[in-house]
Structure 1
Amino acid sequence: MIDHLSIGVSDLAKSKKFYEAALKPLGYQVKFEMDHGVCFGSDDGDLWIIKSEPSKIHLAFRAEERAIVDQFYQAAMAADGVDNGAPGLRPQYHENYYGAFVFDPDGYNVEAVCRKES
């Protein structure tokens, strides 16, 4: 299951205005903001817009346990993935955010994340 999706945007303020209006009828609202991006959330998942070159994709897959995040990372690395962040807590995103990041063969940032406590 996909936890969230990030897309690159060239003008963060302009894109925020657009997505805030366009996604409101779908139940999304601004959930979290950082200098480099905005997260729109709903009961179905999150969409991040990130200040970067358009067309960069980040896929995050939900894991039910932290051990599954570890297994994802090990399997991805064994399949010629490139490290982009070993498994670990990332409390800057959420107090229980445990994730691992790898680049796939095309350079896409792929993640597994568990938000459950331990």
Structure 2
Amino acid sequence: MSRIFDHIDLRVPDLAAAEGFYRQLLPALGFTREMDIEGWLQFESESGDRFFGVTESPGHRANENRIAFHAKSAGEVDRLAGVAKAAGAREIEGPMDYEEAYYAVFFEDPCGNRFEVACRR
């Protein structure tokens, strides 16, 4: 199996409150093509082989699940940490070395969903 993930469908309790955050973060993560799908804020990769969609589910509550994205370098982690912060990320931890050869930043979207960007050196 050469590809292990196809797409992410994420729920938020208020899409309008999260929209600005994802419009900044998703293109920086490589989801550069916005799709026009009713009820969704959805971006796909330039090749169209992966997508990340966000939709409103008023009863959604963030939990301890976390979505982690791979970065090729510590510099890329730093860059994406800056994008997340500028987009309104909350509870930012890092970027920093968490263990030998593991550099990461942890943060939450405006609704409390958890993310990480990490590189393994």
Shorter chain as denominator, the TM-score bin is 0.3 to 0.5
Higher percent of residues as strand: 1
TM-score by length of 1: 0.48
